[in-house]
Amino acid sequence: MHRDGSDAGCPAGQAKGVTSETLGTGTFALTWNGFIGVWTVSAVTAGAPLFALFSLPFWVAGATLATEAVLPVIQETVLEIGVSKFELRETMGVFGDGKEVAGYTTDLDGVNMVTEMVVNGTPLKNLQLVEGALKHSFGGGLSEIELQWVQTEIRAFLEAVPQLDA
């Protein structure tokens, strides 16, 4: 990241790869979905399709677990802020393109750390790049101290960028 007026590139959430956390979550997701699969197949083959429908919420929970295991391994976010323009890109590795947001740096009002949700009493935080009425979320895979550092760097860069007179 540069604060000298040149373009600033900020890897705001590089793919973590396989960690003990993703491995544990992935193993549990496979076990969970395997059990639900056996349960659903057993219900259908036993002639109880309504009982099989009862498994739908458990499939949703299993899909959520699998997503939590896979996303940190493949998701990467890059924020580039220049003197005149910014770009926020989120890619999903081998699964193709993710989202991309671009605009003028002078339209950025700042960056805020927000609590996305609370899981088992632990707040899950990310950053929101504020562009007028729009808020672009990123950095969900980073620790709170990493988010604070990225937030401080972005604020310092935005303060150093000359603003156009209204």
CATH of domain 8-15+76-160: 2.30.29.30
pLDDT value of residue 3: 45
Question: What do you get for the CA distance between the two ends of the chain, in Å?
Answer: 28
109 burial level (CB within 10 Å; 0-12, 13-18, 19+): middle
Number of residues that this document lists for the chain: 166
pLDDT value of residue 162: 73
Q: What is the pLDDT of residues 11-50, one digit of tens each?
A: 455 556 677 777 888 899 999 999 999 999 999 999 988 8
pLDDT value of residue 46: 92
CA dist 90 and 94 (Å) reads 13
pLDDT value of residue 95: 64
pLDDT value of residue 23: 82
Predicted structure pTM score: 0.63
Q: What is the pLDDT of residues 56-78, one digit of tens each?
A: 999 999 998 888 787 777 778 88
The answer to whether the CB of 165 falls within 8 A of the CB of 21 is no
CA dist 54 and 51 (Å) reads 5
Q: Domain ranges in the chain?
A: 8-15+76-160, 20-72
Half-sphere exposure of 32 (CA within 13 A, CB side): 18
| Pairing outcome for strands 97-104 and 85-91 | antiparallel
